[in-house]
Amino acid sequence: MPGSNASASDDNAVDVDLVAQARNGRDQAFNLLMRRHSPMVVRYLTRLLGNMDDAQDAAQETFVALHRNLHRFDPSHSFVAWLFHMARNKGRDALRKRTAMRWLGGEDSMEQYASTAPAPDIEVSDRQRLEQVEGAIREMPEGLKTPLLLSAIEGLTHAEIGTVMGLTPKAVEVRIYRARSRLRSPGAANGEGPD
């Protein structure tokens, strides 16, 4: 996409300015950061966690952590990558908590919470196939799911995803390829994939 690097650079410059203002106590600047980025953070976390309530809780925790750590942001790096790094960590925390609760008997099976309905903004003629793909994505290991979602849904570059995950851009590319291969495999329709 021509111009997308310039647009991303402009967006990052706006975010860096808002972070600087928020560091200096301007609450409106932080609120604007939240309004700019909460939809994509919630979208990512919904797909990572499989349900909107958990995603909204994790997104709220992400923005609380963001506010507490504004002083740690390095303006020479991508704000969005830093934000998604926090969101990924909060999503992992939620998954660990969910697993512990299930193990302790405090939560019923995942089917009770997992949403099989597509997002309202997506029009799909084959709803059953969409549900199968969403199920296959939910079943993917987090190391494949995160780069796929950040690339396909949020439009982050391989370098930005690498920053979020602590990987090289080439390693991100390989993980996205593996995730897409799992989705294309015949077993993906049943939530299975190549091991």
Confidence at residue 73, expressed as pLDDT on a 0 to 100 scale = 92
Q: Which of 55-59, 64-68, 92-96, 111-115 has the lowest mean pLDDT?
A: 111-115
Question: Tokens representing 195?
Answer: 């091991």
Could you tell me if 193 and 185 are in contact, meaning their C-beta atoms sit under 8 angstroms apart? Answer: yes
Q: Which tens digits make up the pLDDT trace of 30-88?
A: 999 999 999 999 999 999 888 899 999 999 999 999 999 999 999 999 999 999 999 99
Q: How far, in Å, CA of 186 to CA of 183, rounded?
A: 8
Q: What is the pLDDT of residue 138?
A: 84
Residue 154: predicted pLDDT: 81
pLDDT value of position 40: 94
Q: Would you state the pLDDT for residue 53?
A: 92
DSSP states along 136-158: HHHHS-HHHHHHHHHHHTT---H
Quick check: 168 pLDDT over 90? yes
